[in-house]
Structures are given as C-alpha cells and as structure tokens.
Amino acid sequence: MVVPVEGARHQWKTLPLATGWAILGVVKNLGIREARLRWPNDLMVKDMKLAGLLSEQFREGVAVVGVGINVFNSPKLLIHELMQATTRLSDHINPAPSLDELTGMILKSIKNMHQHMKKYGFSAMLDEINAAWNMPRQVELTLDNGIQRGAFLGITGEGDLIVKNDSGRTYSYSPLQVKRFREV
C-alpha cells in the first residue's frame, strides 16, 4: 500500500505499529480472539506468527507499507523449523475470506487508521495498541552493548519499547537500538 504521510517525518515513525494495530482489528473481527501484536511488526496467534509487516519511506510525503499474511499457504510444510512458529488464517476460521475480501478489509482498516492518525495523532490510539500486546511478556533484547532481559510493558507515544528489568528499573529503547527482540 502507498500511504500519504504529510508533515514531518517523525510524526509518522509509528506508522508500522499503527498498521499492525489496524490489521489486528481485522483479524479479531474475523473471530480470532487470541490474536495479538508482537513488537515491532508481527501479528501473532498465541505464540505463532500469522503476519508480518514493513513500512518504508522512500521519498518525502509517501510511505510504502507491505503486509504478509499466511492465509491458505503453509510455510511450515516447506521449512520444518517453522512447524511450531507459524500459523495461517485458514487454521483458525472456516471458511477463511478470499484474498480479495481480506485485502478489501485490510485496506479499509488501514484507511481508517490513517485518517485517525492524521486527525488525532498516534497517542490517541496508544492505550488500545498497548492492550493488544497481551502483556506482560518476558523478553530478551540484543543491543549494541549487550543483552537486556525483562518484562515488556508496552510502548511509548514515540513507539519506543518499554522494558522493566529484574531489578525493577524501567528502560525505553528506540527500534533503532534493538538489534533483536525475542519473547522468552
């Protein structure tokens, strides 16, 4: 999808998180109640990956958002290591919507999210997005200066990750600081 992102670039750095939230809404409306987000750009059903998304701003004023959802395909049949790591829409609802129907639902949801962000900003949806993580979850972050473990508490209004370590200290990390994010 090509999404207009008028204004300052920093206003739209949370677009991938908002897009994940919009797609999560579609999946939940289809009846998959156990669906959740995994920071920064995955959609999960319990502990299995259903979808991933990427967002890039190649030129000023426009972002490209790519969404990959396992609907009828079975990546776990091609790559054995994915057996316990991936799922597909058709495993959870029968019948699953056609690709055209699903695309229409997703485009409508992203359009609504985009209008909401333009009018109210990302912070207006922050509480709902933080509720979509199914927290707390224990995580391990690989950073430039080592490993940080703790409880994932959600995200800030800028999209930074909030983690509380075992000693009770709370830290926030920008997506650029985190080399690897893993739920443990």
Q: Which CATH number fits domain 2-131: 3.30.930.10, 3.90.78.10, 3.40.50.11710, 3.40.605.10?
A: 3.30.930.10
Task: Give the torsion sign (CA, 27, 29, 33, 37).
Answer: positive
pTM of the model: 0.88
Listed by start position, the domains of the chain span 2-131, 137-183
Each residue's pLDDT tens digit, 130-152: 888 877 889 999 999 999 999 99
Residue 172 backbone class (left: φ over 0; alpha: ψ -120 to 50; beta: rest):
beta
Q: Which CATH number fits domain 137-183: 2.160.10.10, 2.30.30.100, 3.30.450.40, 2.70.70.10?
A: 2.30.30.100
Each residue's pLDDT tens digit, 34-62: 999 998 889 999 889 999 999 888 888 89
Give residue 155's pLDDT.
94
> Of 124, 135, 129, 153, whose CA–CA distance to 173 is shortest?
153
* CA atoms lying within 13 Å on the CB side of residue 111: 6
> Of 109, 104, 92, whose CA–CA distance to 35 is shortest?
92
